Structure 1
Amino acid sequence: MENLSAATLSQLERAQRDEVTGSLIYRAMAKREKDPKNRAILERMSAEETEHAAVWQRYTKKTVRHSALKLFWYKLVSVIMGFTFVLKLIQKDEELSGAEYDRLSREVPEAARMALEEHAHEKELINMLDEERLQYVGAMVLGLNDALVELTGTIAGMTFAMMNTRLVALSGIITGVSATLSMAASNYLAERSDGNPNALKSSLYTGVAYLITVAILVLPYLLFPVSLYVPALITMLAAVILIILFFNYYISVAKGQPFLRRFGEMALISLSVAAISFVIGILVKQFLGIDIG
């Protein structure tokens, strides 16, 4: 242990700080968790992180403080995105790179072995957790996808047909709220027919995802002046890309699904529908001779 290189000692010190910080993050999530099974697993993970930090301390000979910024950030993210998302992020953060693992295995073989075993064990514990919002990802995807495709196309089509941000916003709100209720009701009936005892909760997740998407898409038309319908449209399309980016990143981390392919598919479909509806809006306005002043 006396002959460890400066790079290895620095790596071990970073690992020690990660374990100390992870222990506090898991403890904070456990305090907020209502499900007794999930709370017990998170408390167990917190205790194990403390034990691992003590192992690294035998090599570093230092008492390392936690990262206050990382602790604050992960606690905030866990409230918004859920504990499964945060646990997967922490795992990625703590995972050794190929070069780091090679150096560690040469100088401290038992520590390298412990790091691998710890990572595998944490994966097992994460798989034992049962977070409610992940059970309803399918319902949220349904609401989000439908809202993005339908509303993006509808609003894009109305933008050049009406050429008035307030009229587009009014139409978008009416269409969006009606579609939200319709989508939630359809999802409820479909889940009931499949014998799902949580059909109501599933439909609520679908409806809420739809309604939030509607609000975000309509907002630019409420913020921009009446005549600036083109900037409002561009802002709305940028919001569509950001929603798709955010949601697919969440899914890719929390459920381990491919990010780029899913993001590309959703973005292509939504923007293609918007482009087609945009052209239809112009053609309808021209052929019907409608002029909204």
Structure 2
Amino acid sequence: MNKTSEKVNLRKALIQQQNEINDYTIYMTLASYQDDQNNKIVFEKIAKEEKVHYNFWLKITEQEIQAQKLVVWWFILLVKVLGTSFALKSLEKREEGAEEFYKELFEIYPESREIYKQESEHELELIEMLKDKKLVYAGAIVLGMNDALVELTGTLSGIALAFDKSIVVGFTGLIMGIAASLSMAGSAYFEAKENPSQIIKPIIYSLYTGVSYILTTAILVAPFFIFETMAYSLIMMFICAFLAIISYNFYISVAKDLNFTTRVLQMSMITFGVAIISFLIGYIVKYYFGIEI
């Protein structure tokens, strides 16, 4: 083996070694924050495996490496903001599809194949054992966001033809959205009370539902306060709705291992289908019955 090949192999081994010490530090840091004993045990178990992997590469590279603080704290922040499942599955899935990159390592260091398999399978199984409070309330977010998307895109599309000014449509949609969010929050509270759970707290469930509804409302009505032209406002509303659908489904597809494309298509078809029907009803009312506001 020539010197160039040796340098390339060493560089690849060092990349893997860096990943392992980063992951070890992330899991140990998360374990130190845990009040839930089950989560603490799982984090420590994964961290122990990462340290074993790090020591394997250390024997090859003979170079000690420190964890990259920025990377570590970035994933800690993701856990705090978006939940354990999303952050850690993102962390572990970065190696999915990378077998081509590691193929040479498998040939040069046969033991690395078993490490790769453990990384891509076993640790994801361990992550499934974690109790992720944010993911527990994902149903409440779906309830609020989905209802807001379907109801408000339909409502705003339907009344757009009835008013001359887009700002009037914006205020109308905002008032309706606030009222609907309070109604949804109340309904979610009673739903959670009727289906008692040790994990889900009714008041928190209702807050997630109401807040997700009002935030979605704000996103959808914003274009009507920005653009004077009704056509521009409607187009931007649909773009905002589609971006909201993509953002949420990206999160939930990673966190719950669901099909991203299928969920986006289903949610988009329902949301925009209702909006188109509502717009047609508004058109019929205005131009065929002569009803205007």
1:217 maps to what in 2?
Answer: 220
Measure the CA separation in 1 of the matches of 2:2 and 2:20: 23
CA contact (8 A) 2:188 2:209 kept: yes
* Aligned AA (1:211): I
Task: Name the counterpart of 1:267.
Answer: 268
Q: Structure 1 CA distance, aligned partners of 2:69 and 2:202?
A: 41
Whether the aligned pair in 2 keeps the contact of 1:143 and 1:210 (CA below 8 Å) is: yes
Measure how far apart 1:228 and its partner are.
Answer: 2.1
1:255 shift after superposition: 0.4
| Pair 38,272 (structure 1): closer, same or farther in 2 beyond 3 Å | same
Distance 2:165 2:48 in 1: 59
Query: 1:151 touches 1:176 (CA, 8 Å); kept in 2?
Result: yes
User: In structure 1, what residue type is equivalent to 2:104?
Assistant: R
Q: Deviations over 1:244-269 (max 9, x none)?
A: 10111111100001110111010111
RMSD: 2.6
2:210: which partner in 1? 207
Percentage identity across paired residues of the two chains: 38
Describe the shift of the 1:170–1:96 C-alpha distance in structure 2 as closer, same or farther (beyond 3 A).
Answer: closer
TM-score by length of structure 2 reads 0.87
Query: Residue 286 of structure 2: SS of its match in structure 1?
Result: helix
Change in Cα spacing, 1:58 to 1:78, as seen in structure 2 (3 Å) is: same
The one-letter code of the counterpart of 2:95 is: E
Deviation at 1:56, TM superposition (A): 0.9
CA offsets per residue over residues 174-224 of structure 1, 9 Å max, x none?
211121122222233333333446333323222222121111111222233
Matched, 1:121 2:122: yes
CA distance in 1, matches of 2:31, 2:218: 33
Change (3 A) 1:13 1:88: same
> Retained in 2: the 8 A contact 1:169–1:222?
yes
The 5 A counterparts of 1:147-158 are: 147-158=148-159
Which whole-Å CA distance do the structure 1 matches of 2:54 and 2:69 have between them? 16
Give structure 1 stretches of 5+ with no counterpart.
none
How far off its partner does 1:82 sit?
1.3
Whether the 8 Å contact between 1:105 and 1:113 is mirrored in structure 2 is no
TM-score by length of 1: 0.87
Q: 1:54-113: CA deviations, max 9, x gaps?
A: 221211222334445534543343332112111101111134633244433322112222
3-state SS of paired residue (1:94): coil
The answer as to 2:145 corresponding to 1:144 is yes
> Which residues of 2 match residues 54-93 of structure 1 at below 5 A?
54-67=55-68, 70-93=71-94
Distance 1:176 1:66, change over 3 A: same
Alignment check: 8 A CA contact 1:30 1:42 kept: yes
Contact 1:18 1:94 in 2 (8 A): no
State the alpha-carbon separation in 2 of the partners of residues 281 and 70 from structure 1. Answer: 51
Structure 2 runs not aligned, ≥5 long: none
CA distance in 2, matches of 1:71, 1:173: 40
State the 4+ residue runs in structure 1 displaced beyond 6 angstroms: 1-4
Residue-by-residue CA offset, 1:104-133 (whole Å, 9 max, x unaligned): 332211222233234433123212210111
User: Structure 2 CA distance, aligned partners of 1:163 and 1:24?
Assistant: 59
